[in-house]
Structure 1
Amino acid sequence: MAKTPEQPKMKRRQQFVETFKMARKGDPKLVWWLLGAFVLGAAIGFGLFWILPGSGVIGLISSIVGAIMLGLLGALLLFSRRAQASAYAQIEGRPGAAASALTTLRRGWKTEPAVGFTKQQDVVHRVVGPPGIVLVGEGNPTRVKALLATERRRHERVAAEVPIHEVVVGNDEGQVPLPKLVKYVGKLKRQVAPADMTDLLSRLKAIDAARPAAPLPKGPVPTSMKGFRGQMRGR
């Protein structure tokens, strides 16, 4: 019984380690960047606390504590940014990358990967949240555009009164880059009340039950993006 409280902490610690390994794989200089951020933050912290009232041993101790705190804060903030960039760089261009990124959305969003797809692995993912229904396509732009139109018509049959948004992931004009996808979706205008979400999701089950399984390869993107959600989202 005494070990029960330790289990969640161990899980978070392991999650952080996995996130660090993933980030370091895509960013070999990560350790040096973190060390530099810690040293810079520690120097600023020491200087700030040193000029505060106090002298002797107490002043020295408070300055050291302040240096450590600001050093760790600086390193963690930098780790968050570089780990996020590394994670997106590793999955960008791979089948299912957008679906993996969308798992980092906050609570109140429901993501369903590959609600529509082609044999060439062009896919459309669905996100249901405060803005309504967001259809996110990735793959060949021409095929994805047609696929989005098909999915829009399919969803309008069961949720005609709900706003439907279309997003194409990519780096061309009119598309949303993968690293900016979550932020873009999260900023869409809120038009669906939380109380209506349950009914909407229930109606969408009708079209979900009729579609075949998506022919995506197993494990197309790093599964640690889910761990990345809790560690890096800035809650």
Structure 2
Amino acid sequence: MSAGTPEAPTGRIAQMRQAYTITKRTDRTIGLRLLFWFLLVGGIAATVNLVLFGPSIIGIPLAVLFGLLSGTLAALIVFGRRAEKAAYAQVEGQTGAAASALQMLRKGWNVKPAVAFTKQQDIVHRVVGRPGVILVGEGNPHRVRQLLAAEKRKHARIVGDDIPVLDLVVGNEEGQIPLTKLNRHVQKMKKTIKPAAQTSVINKLKALDAMRPAAPMPRGPVPTSMKGARKMMRG
């Protein structure tokens, strides 16, 4: 590991602390938001518990316990969503942002960043999942669509006619997928292949990848800024 690359935190608390620090940079009110939801949901849960069990020797401790647990759960849910939003905001517009977002996909998806690129830093990433092979382009819309078309032909020759090869462009223009909606869009794509076929496709594509030059993906801010939020949300 290079001296300029910070080490990722290993403990759960350290990961959450890093995610909070990242979120705080773009969401100054995150602390107040978490406190609000903790008190609101915790207070409601405690009140409901008192109504059900009454202010008895058992009822009061249960109300406190349920209030704390419910409030903490609510705060964690809000924190996860705000952390994800903040992470996207920090990398949006940077080279490799789509790759960083795609790597937040959970199990069942094989993500290969920068399978193709141009000198102008137009990049195509690849995701293999139940929908088939998904090529994700980012960069200049005109150049990246040409790059996507070339990659679709290459991938189609490798995987065969039975495996769909899909493509999309990340961006905020018409016909493009915003970075913040990229993973949700990919996950909602129609599932057309079985897990066994997915594994076979990944193995076939390794031969194609072996013939490619190393991709000049940026190191540092883009992948690292997503890491804390990604680990915190995955658990």
Normalising by structure 2, what TM-score?
0.90
How far did 1:105 drift? 1.1
Matches within 5 A, 1:115-130: 115-130=115-130
Match of 1:146 in 2: 146
Matches within 5 A, 1:9-88: 11-88=11-88
Match of 1:159 in 2: 159
How far did 1:215 drift? 2.1
Aligned identity (percent) is 49
Match of 1:98 in 2: 98
Query: CA offsets, 1:83-141, max 9 Å, x none?
Result: 11101001111110110111111211110000111111110000011111000001111
Partners of 2:193 and 2:221 lie apart in 1 by 32
How far did 1:224 drift? 4.9
Partners of 2:12 and 2:192 lie apart in 1 by 35
Q: Which moved more, 1:193-202 or 1:52-61?
A: 52-61
* 3-state DSSP of counterpart to 2:57: helix
How far did 1:220 drift? 4.8
After superposition, the CA RMSD in angstroms is 1.6
Residue 67 of structure 2 aligns with an amino acid whose one-letter code is A
The answer to whether the 8 A contact 1:94-1:220 is kept is no
* 3-state DSSP of counterpart to 2:190: coil
Partners of 2:192 and 2:101 lie apart in 1 by 23
* 3-state DSSP of counterpart to 2:149: helix
Unaligned runs of 5+ in 1: 1-9
Partners of 1:227 and 1:31 lie apart in 2 by 17
Structure 2 CA distance for partners of 1:220 and 1:142, relative to 1, 3 Å:
farther
Partners of 1:143 and 1:226 lie apart in 2 by 29
* 3-state DSSP of counterpart to 2:73: helix
Match of 1:195 in 2: 196
Residue 159 of structure 2 aligns with an amino acid whose one-letter code is A
Partners of 1:34 and 1:150 lie apart in 2 by 47
Partners of 1:222 and 1:208 lie apart in 2 by 21
* 3-state DSSP of counterpart to 2:203: helix
Residue 179 of structure 2 aligns with an amino acid whose one-letter code is L
* 3-state DSSP of counterpart to 2:166: strand
* 3-state DSSP of counterpart to 1:223: helix
How far did 1:148 drift? 0.4
Query: CA offsets, 1:15-34, max 9 Å, x none?
Result: 22221211112212111111
Normalising by structure 1, what TM-score?
0.90
How far did 1:193 drift? 1.1
Q: Which runs of 4+ in 1 moved over 4 A?
A: none
Partners of 1:215 and 1:229 lie apart in 2 by 23
The answer to whether the 8 A contact 2:124-2:135 is kept is yes
Match of 1:4 in 2: none
* 3-state DSSP of counterpart to 1:51: helix
Partners of 1:152 and 1:61 lie apart in 2 by 62
